[in-house]
Homo-oligomer: A and B are copies of this chain.
Amino acid sequence: MYEKALVLLREKKYPQLRELLATMEAQDIALLLEEADMDVVPRIYRILPKELATDVFAEMDPDMQELLIKVFSDSELGEVLEDMFLDDTVDMIEEMPATLVKRILRVATPEKRRQINDLLSYPEDSAGSIMTVEFVDLKQDMTVKQAFAHIRKTAPDKETVYTCYVTDSRRRIIGIVSVKDLLLNKYETTIGQIMDPDVIYVHTHDDKEDVAKTIDKYDFLAIPVVDNEDRLVGIITIDDAIDVLTEEIEEDIAIMAAVTPSDEDYFKTSVWGHSKNRILWLVILLLSSTFTGMIITNYENLMNALLVSFIPMIMGTGGNSGSQSSAMIVRGLATDEIKLKDFFRVFVKELLIGVLVGTALAVVNALRTWIMYELMYKNDPAYADYNIWMVSLVVGLTIIGVVVLAKILGAVLPMLAKVLKLDPAIMASPLITTIVDACAVLLYFNIALIFLPI
């Protein structure tokens, strides 16, 4: 269907396109418009059935929304604002340049304007910033029949009608009732009889990530949000919760890969923007690797091709062991599976894993070294001064030490970051690798000084 629409669009067959678009989902039409020339977008937008048009508008990229708002008449803009869900409107306004924001607020009805300003005033990461004020509220003395009448009357405006919230005269939430409950009870039953008074709710200033996790945990379709005086002021729906959850994970992945996280898509970000997001950590890591270099300059008399040839392997193994642990711990902390009180359990567990894995790697390395020596280097001058088994012993002991250290740092540093109220992800792989590198080289040369002739 999408491909067919694309063909009609390219061939400028607008009457047929109009018919086809009317049967498509808003998300697909928004994607389709991305592929169209900028100057035909308003034209295609205007051939859409009115209700679908607003849905399509809400699904568009901010750039495309900006383009359309600029060509909209005030009455067109007013209609879109009236039909769009309030949380989508606020999301859009946050991306618009100041002049367009002014025009949007001027065109909106006074009631809408007040609601928009209310929502804009919540801090960026708060529950308030992602909630919508459009929900169904019932009173406990209503009957099921009255409740249905109320929903029928107000539903077209409400983002989620399937969970209804029961409030008292002071707008405090006292119960919830699902449309399923309404359907399963007699018309005469009062809401007070069937509502569930044990409501799980959140506060406007709660962290939006925690709220999203709560919705996910309980498999809710929406969660009610109350203000400082415990009055019901909005709801957060599951689709927005999913967005928050995936954004947070994407952010963690970026940080773990030493990239400054950004909300922008890959192609939407310029070469310059990508470079800016990547350079900061690279500079920090480059400068901190200075220590590893300084350690090496202190061991001038160990500089021979044989001993130096093991450095990349030792550093690589340390770095990889550390990333393994830190990735596991960062995710465990993010999903609340690992808590700060588990510190000691995690420490012991990673220590044991480090010993086991390190020993196995030391054995693999000894075999590898022996095979290579027998096959390739028996007459190499680089190997002349050394007993190959002693070298394997030195490298093996270093590997065990480095792997244990990397595992422990990979586990401890993210937890430490959490104690310090930092994002655990910044302690992931690259930073740990750099610390482990320095320790690895120091350990290696000192073990070498003990066991090998210099």
Contact = CB atoms under 8 A, between A and B. Distances in A.
Given A316-B285, A337-B267, A353-B275, A257 B368 contact: no
Interface stretch (A118-126, A217-225, A412-420): A217-225
A133 B287 CA distance: 59
B221 A281 contact: no
B312 A311 contact: yes
A338 B349 CA distance: 39
A289 interface: yes
Given A24-B198, A281-B320, A327 B183 contact: no
Given A23-B198, A245-B246, A297-B380, A286 B356 contact: no
A178 to B, nearest CB: 9
Given A305-B296, A357-B275, A321 B24 contact: no
Interface residues of A, number: 112
* Interface of A: prevailing SS: helix
A279 B317 CA distance: 11
A238 B249 CA distance: 19
Contact of A297 (B299, B305, B332): B305
A286 B313 contact: yes
Contacts of A184: 152, 155-156
Interface string A279-306: 1011101110110111011111001111
Interface string A153-164: 001100001100
A238 B219 CA distance: 9
B327 A313 contact: no
A430 B354 CA distance: 18
Contacts of A239: 219
A434 interface: yes
Nearest to A198: B23
A254 interface: yes
B308 A308 contact: yes
A122 B80 CA distance: 45
Contact of A180 (B161, B377, B441): B161
A326 B256 CA distance: 12
Interface in A182-237: 183-184, 197-198, 200, 216-219, 221
A345 interface: yes
Interface stretch (A41-49, A103-111, A359-367): A359-367
Interface string A382-395: 10000000000000
Interface stretch (A63-71, A166-174, A258-266): A258-266
A293 B380 CA distance: 14
Given A297-B380, A319-B319, 18 more contacts: A23-B198, A25-B218, A27-B218, A151-B183, A161-B180, A250-B331, A253-B253, A253-B331, A256-B327, A257-B326, A257-B429, A259-B328, A271-B352, A274-B349, A290-B313, A290-B372, A296-B312, A297-B306
15 contacts: A23-B197, A25-B218, A162-B180, A254-B327, A256-B257, A256-B327, A257-B326, A258-B323, A259-B324, A275-B353, A290-B313, A290-B368, A303-B303, A311-B311, A312-B441
Interface of A: 23-25, 27, 148, 151-152, 155-156, 161-162, 179-180, 183-184, 197-198, 200, 216-219, 221, 238-239, 242, 245-246, 249-250, 252-254, 256-259, 265-267, 271-272, 274-275, 278-279, 281-283, 285-287, 289-290, 292-294, 296-300, 303-306, 308-313, 315-317, 319-321, 323-324, 326-329, 331-332, 337-338, 342, 345-346, 349, 352-353, 356-357, 360-361, 364-365, 368, 372, 377, 380-382, 429-430, 433-434, 437, 441
- Sorted nearest first, the 3 A-B pairs with minimum C-beta distance are A257-B327, A293-B309, A292-B312
